[in-house]
Amino acid sequence: MDEVFKALADPNRRRLLDSLNARNGQTLRELCAGLELARQSVSKHLAVLEAANLISTRRSGREKLHYLNAEPINAITERWITRYDRARVHALADLKKALEAAPMSDNTFVYTTFIKTTREKLWQALTEPAFTKRYWGSSFDTDWQPGSEMVWHQQDWTSKDPEQVVLEADPYNKLAYTWHTFDPAFAEAFDMNPDLVAAWAREPRSQVSFELEQASGDVVKLTVVHNNFPPNSGVQEGISGGWPGILSNLKTLLETGEVLPDLAV
């Protein structure tokens, strides 16, 4: 965590995070416009933030887009929170909320975490019910072949829809599928406002992808990209708050064999 605190100590780097919190998915040019710093200086600050995993980057054509990444703050808050005094706990909690609260202005949610495991075990954890039930509370009936339908089970709720399908399945490298259908049974099962869920159901179906990369000998980089949201998407706001907990639980399960007590599902 030394890299995280070092990255957050600089006011210019905090301003860059503020800028991305206001409008995510910005290019270097756009970020430079908000700071009275040379392009090279902004690039160096972004490199520090990326090394601390506070931002994630993705290519869009020739441009490099920058996204907030809440994973390091989640790690501090959920695993080592008792090591810090009350004032620091509040500051971290506020930052965690800021990183997770605002919907992505470019209609894309990006989250990157590093897990001490193998790509084979991570793939197993993403696809096999014995794992997904433990850290997520969900399981899927599918053969994980592109185009195959997915039947989604979560607690007492089941979703079956011909548009709920596997998009890509390249073992140990990338997995992608469309998101589940929202219906009245979903609202009832999770005690949600039926009107809210009905509004979610009217949105275009989103999709999620999991990209697995070997970061070092015993560490895998997992990047989750959830997109295809309309402007001001209610679904996007919901998943932006849900994914960090699910992925923290996944990381803890693979690294310790247990799930986080406060996140057990």
User: pLDDT tier at 116 (50, 70, 90 boundaries)?
Assistant: very high
Query: Residues 80, 138: one domain?
Result: no
Query: Residues 119, 88: one domain?
Result: no
Predicted confidence at residue 264, as pLDDT, reads: 40
Nearest to 207 by CA among 232, 183, 239: 239
Total H helices, total E strands in the chain: 11, 9
Query: Residues 125, 6: one domain?
Result: no
Q: Does the predicted TM-score (pTM) go above 0.85?
A: no
Query: Residues 135, 206: one domain?
Result: yes
Predicted confidence at residue 76, as pLDDT, reads: 65
Query: Residues 137, 179: one domain?
Result: yes
Q: How far apart are CA 84 and CA 86, in angstroms?
A: 7
Quote the mean pLDDT of the chain: 86
State pLDDT tens for residues 32-54.
Answer: 987 888 889 999 999 999 888 89
Helices of type H across 23-174: 28-33, 39-51, 71-79, 86-101, 119-127, 129-135
Query: Residues 175, 248: one domain?
Result: yes
* Displacement of CA 160 from its chain's centroid (Å): 24
**Domain at 97, CATH number:** 1.10.10.10
Last residue of a domain, one of 85, 102, 119: 102
**Domain at 253, CATH number:** 3.30.530.20
State pLDDT tens for residues 137-187.
Answer: 999 999 999 999 999 999 899 999 999 999 999 999 999 999 999 999 999
Query: Residues 153, 123: one domain?
Result: yes
Last residue of a domain, one of 33, 67, 102: 102
- Name the token pair of 164: 């709920």
- Count the neighbouring beta carbons within 10 Å of the beta carbon of residue 39: 12
Query: Residues 89, 117: one domain?
Result: no
Number of domains in the chain: 2
Query: Residues 36, 120: one domain?
Result: no
Last residue of a domain, one of 72, 102, 132: 102
Share of the chain above pLDDT 70, in %: 85
Query: Residues 83, 154: one domain?
Result: no
Domain that holds residue 80: 2-102
